[in-house]
Structure 1
């Protein structure tokens, strides 16, 4: 199959970019795959797909470069197709409307995959006839505004499938969106096996990673760690990531006297080498669409103490087996979960081994296989393969009857 992904900006860094590259690179082992980035703001991507994946862009925002288009008059006019209700990116404009439309109308592929609501709307309206149209949801339906939900309900019926990253969100889509004829499938994000040896549970570090944003509730994690330190002052916490909450978190760490125990490490890429320095992962979000960092930690052999926030964590962690789920926003409960693993070396090792084993279901090969089956069904290739298999089986069975029948059947098998 020829599979084309459409993404906001493949040259940045973030969970959607990472998981798109993971999926595209794995599919490219057996298919013709490209990633088309609406924007390009630097010469080389921070992350990168495999060499088998083609990467190209539609609008050049590299300032000072010969192809810079940020001063194009169309770039100053608002978009008419990309829904204003998405609101997150002001970059979409009359220029992007035209470039995306030209791209989709001229795109000759079997499957086109959008990676955010506004791009899915473009695909629904403008992709060529005969192309399977798939819209991915990397957030959750519940986090979208009312006007955006209305726009999606208007345009998504033209899609062939919508994929969510959790079963919980798939149920919400089926219940609230009323999309007759559109397949709604839950397919989680993928995380490759790390290139380093897994953690050995001996390091006295708790590791957390993600944007320093309000929804991650690192303030609750810092407060909970004050309770941990009161019992086990030999343990420390590292938080990896950048964001607007950094100054507030630094002030809180100083206020609680935790400057020798809690460290804001800044962003790190890749994170594998940092995860394995620790023995316990921590996630204290009030909301997750999936929980990539949970899987990343587990793939490095760390049991994770996570808040039982909506959607992701409960579908990743088997509570009490490969990690612990605790109430949202409760520093005492989070501290108790961390201390349960810190104080019991054997439990920590056992849960770490289980985390390593259970997280293999998020391997890119597993996730790509699920997408491959979906794409094959949407394009009719699944039925074609099944029919061909049955035909070959019948021919070979009948070939046993006579020598002449055998020769005739084998000729037909070869032709098929």
Structure 2
């Protein structure tokens, strides 16, 4: 298949960027894959795409370069297609409206995939007839404003499918959005296995990672860790990430006298070497769209203590087997769960081994297979529209031979 991803800015940092590169890279082993970035603001992307993935952009915002378009007259006029209710609206313009439209109308592919609501609306309204149109939801429907939900309800029926990263959000989409004929499916994010030996459970470190934002509730974590330190002063907490809450969290650490036990480490990429130094992962969010850091920690052999917020953790962690789920909001439950793992070396190691095994279901190859099946099913449902492009190498590949027999059968069905 020829697959085209449309993303806000492939040269930036963020979970959507990283997971898009990961998925595109695995799909590109057997398909023709490109990532089209609306914006480009730096010379090189922070996450390097796989060699087989083509990367291009629509609007150049590299200051000082001859191709810079930030002062283009159209870029100073507001967008009319990109939804005003979308969080990135101010970055879009008449110029992006035109460039995205030209790109979508000229696409020669089997599947086009949008990676945020505003771009999914562009695809619904402007993609030419033929390609399967898929809109990804990397957040949750509940985080969108009422105004944005109205826009999505008006335009998403033109999509062929909407994917969410949790089953809970997929159920919400089916129940609330009224999208007749649109296939809604939950497909989690893929997380690669680290190229490091997993944690052995001996390090006296608890590790957390993510944006220093209110929804992550690091204040709850720090207060919980004060209780941990009172009983186990030999343990320490590292929090990785950057954000607006840093100063407030630093002040809380000072107020609680935890400056020798809790460390704000800043943003670090990659995180795998930091995860494996620890023995327990922790997430205290009041809201998650998926829980990427939970999977990252588990893939490094850490059991995770996580708040059982509405989306994500409960679908990743098997409570009591490979991690512990606690109620949202209170430090006491977090502290008790952390101490349960800290005080029981055998339990900690057993749960860490279980976490490592269970997290294999999020391997990018398995996630890519689910997307491949989704795309193939949508092409079949749509009358096999689009031409399926294959190479001789893909047809002879031992790793995909079983799948290729299915693809050949599909091709014969088309010919018949």
Q: 1:266 is matched with which residue?
A: 266
Alpha-carbon spacing, 1:70–1:383, altered in 2? closer, same or farther (3 Å): closer
Q: 2:216 is matched with which residue?
A: 216
Q: 2:104 is matched with which residue?
A: 104
Q: 1:136 is matched with which residue?
A: 136
Q: For 2:134 and 2:45, locate their aligned partners in 1 and report how far apart those are by CA, in whole Å.
A: 24
1:87 CA drift (Å): 3.0
Secondary structure of 2:48's counterpart equals coil
Q: 1:297 is matched with which residue?
A: 297
Q: For 2:206 and 2:347, locate their aligned partners in 1 and report how far apart those are by CA, in whole Å.
A: 15
- How does 1:7-406 map onto structure 2 within 5 Å? 7-380=7-380, 389=409
Secondary structure of 1:6's counterpart equals strand
**1:34-66 CA deviation, whole Å, 9 max, x = no partner?**
000000000001111111100000001111111
Secondary structure of 1:8's counterpart equals strand
Gapped regions of structure 1 (runs ≥ 5): 393-414
Secondary structure of 1:258's counterpart equals coil
Secondary structure of 1:90's counterpart equals helix
1:389 CA drift (Å): 4.2
Greater C-alpha Rg? 1
Contact residue 229 and residue 235 of structure 1 kept, 8 A: yes
Q: TM-score, normalised by structure 1?
A: 0.92
Alpha-carbon spacing, 1:124–1:383, altered in 2? closer, same or farther (3 Å): closer
1:381 CA drift (Å): 8.8
Contact residue 165 and residue 290 of structure 1 kept, 8 A: yes
**1:212-236 CA deviation, whole Å, 9 max, x = no partner?**
0000000110000000000000000
Q: For 1:300 and 1:381, locate their aligned partners in 2 and report how far apart those are by CA, in whole Å.
A: 39
Q: For 1:190 and 1:32, locate their aligned partners in 2 and report how far apart those are by CA, in whole Å.
A: 19
Alpha-carbon spacing, 1:203–1:383, altered in 2? closer, same or farther (3 Å): farther
Contact residue 321 and residue 354 of structure 1 kept, 8 A: yes
Q: Any runs of at least 4 consecutive aligned residues in structure 1 with deviations exceeding 6 A, and if so which?
A: 381-385
Secondary structure of 2:377's counterpart equals helix
Q: For 2:69 and 2:336, locate their aligned partners in 1 and report how far apart those are by CA, in whole Å.
A: 54
**1:293-324 CA deviation, whole Å, 9 max, x = no partner?**
00000000000000000110000000000000
Alpha-carbon spacing, 1:77–1:273, altered in 2? closer, same or farther (3 Å): same
Which structure's relative contact order is higher, taking Cα pairs within 8 Å and 6+ residues apart? Answer: 2
Q: CA RMSD in A?
A: 1.7
Q: For 1:241 and 1:132, locate their aligned partners in 2 and report how far apart those are by CA, in whole Å.
A: 37
Q: For 1:90 and 1:262, locate their aligned partners in 2 and report how far apart those are by CA, in whole Å.
A: 37
Q: TM-score, normalised by structure 2?
A: 0.92
Alpha-carbon spacing, 1:260–1:89, altered in 2? closer, same or farther (3 Å): farther
Q: 1:410 is matched with which residue?
A: none
Alpha-carbon spacing, 1:243–1:387, altered in 2? closer, same or farther (3 Å): closer
Contact residue 83 and residue 89 of structure 2 kept, 8 A: no
Secondary structure of 1:29's counterpart equals coil
1:388 CA drift (Å): 5.7
Gapped regions of structure 2 (runs ≥ 5): 385-404
Q: For 1:180 and 1:209, locate their aligned partners in 2 and report how far apart those are by CA, in whole Å.
A: 39
Secondary structure of 2:81's counterpart equals coil
Contact residue 377 and residue 383 of structure 1 kept, 8 A: no
Q: 1:412 is matched with which residue?
A: none
Q: For 1:247 and 1:391, locate their aligned partners in 2 and report how far apart those are by CA, in whole Å.
A: 59
Q: For 1:238 and 1:177, locate their aligned partners in 2 and report how far apart those are by CA, in whole Å.
A: 40
1:88 CA drift (Å): 3.4
Q: 2:395 is matched with which residue?
A: none
Secondary structure of 1:202's counterpart equals coil
Q: For 2:154 and 2:268, locate their aligned partners in 1 and report how far apart those are by CA, in whole Å.
A: 40
Alpha-carbon spacing, 1:271–1:317, altered in 2? closer, same or farther (3 Å): same
**1:142-166 CA deviation, whole Å, 9 max, x = no partner?**
1100010000000000000000000
Secondary structure of 1:270's counterpart equals coil
Alpha-carbon spacing, 1:31–1:147, altered in 2? closer, same or farther (3 Å): same
1:383 CA drift (Å): 9.0
Q: For 2:129 and 2:194, locate their aligned partners in 1 and report how far apart those are by CA, in whole Å.
A: 40
1:387 CA drift (Å): 9.2
